[in-house]
Amino acid sequence: MTWGFFFLAFFLVGLVLAAIFGILESLPKSHVALPRAELVRHRRQVHIARLGVALAGFGGAGLILVSWGRYSWKGVMVSALAVALFCWVVCRWLLRLPCAPSILQQKATVVREIPPGGYGQVRVEAGGSSMVLAAQSEAEETIPAGSEVEVVDCQRSVVVVRKVSPLQ
């Protein structure tokens, strides 16, 4: 096996991972074929897409440097790792996770009624601070103001909430 093939393999695997998981991350929930376990699945997709970009950067830089033939394998490896780290940092900055993990599965209070298919507002107490966020109901039901809800998804700018049953 040659160094060129080694870097080509990393480049192709990285491109495939970045493309597949980047596309999965951008699809609306209704188009994803597999069941979605709240936000955990989304976070995994974002992390794998970042990894794919880093692998593609590593493979691409290594392939270019090997094809020039001017550097030793140690120099190529260090340079490719530096490019991979740079790509990962840039991708981490561009593909941000939608909300802080502290908000997910937090109890919140409905401030403005949430109509079916519409938007309302909830107040979340997290980390010693209180924030009011736009919210949408997970179920097709009206959630009146003052109700206690749980944040189940914060993938976009609007959090998705579920009404907390009295048994919980």
Measured CA angle at 34 (ends 30, 38), to 5 deg:
75
Same structural domain, 9 and 86: yes
Is residue 105 classed as helix, strand or coil in its secondary structure? coil
101 part of a folded domain:
no
Band of the pLDDT at 47, cuts 50, 70, 90? confident
Per-residue pLDDT, 33: 41
17 part of a folded domain:
yes
CA distances from 141 to 114, 127, 132 (A): 8, 29, 21
Which of 95, 123, 148 is the endpoint of a domain?
A: 95
Per-residue pLDDT, 32: 44
Band of the pLDDT at 5, cuts 50, 70, 90? confident
125 part of a folded domain:
yes
Per-residue pLDDT, 98: 55
* Tens of pLDDT, residues 61-111: 998 988 888 888 889 999 999 999 999 998 887 766 556 655 666 788 999
Same structural domain, 71 and 122: no
| Surface-to-core class of residue 161, CB atoms within 10 Å of its CB (0-12 exposed, 13-18 middle, 19+ buried) | buried
Same structural domain, 48 and 119: no
Q: Which domain holds residue 21?
A: 3-95
145 part of a folded domain:
yes
Q: Which two tokens stand for residue 108?
A: 């919140």
Same structural domain, 80 and 115: no
Same structural domain, 67 and 16: yes
Strand partners, 137: 161
* Tens of pLDDT, residues 133-166: 888 888 888 899 999 998 887 766 678 888 887 6
Question: What is the CATH number for 158?
Answer: 2.40.50.140
